[in-house]
Amino acid sequence: MLFIQTIISFLRDKEYRDLLFTSTLIIIIGGLTYHYLEGWNFIDSFYFAIITLTTIGYGDFSPQTSGGKIFTMFYVLIGLGMILTFIQTVYTHYSDIKKSKK
Domains and CATH numbers, the chain: 16-93 (1.10.287.70)
What mean pLDDT comes out for the span 44-67?
A: 93
Distance CA 65, CA 88 (A): 33
Greater confidence (96 vs 61) lies with: 61
Q: How far is it between the farthest Cα atoms of the chain?
A: 53
Contact 68/37 with Cβ under 8 angstroms?
yes
Name 90's Cβ contacts closer than 8 Å, sequence gap at least 6: 10
How confident is the model at residue 1, as a pLDDT?
63
How many beta carbons lie within 10 A of that of residue 94, not counting itself?
17
Short-list 35, 60, 62, CA closest to 46:
35
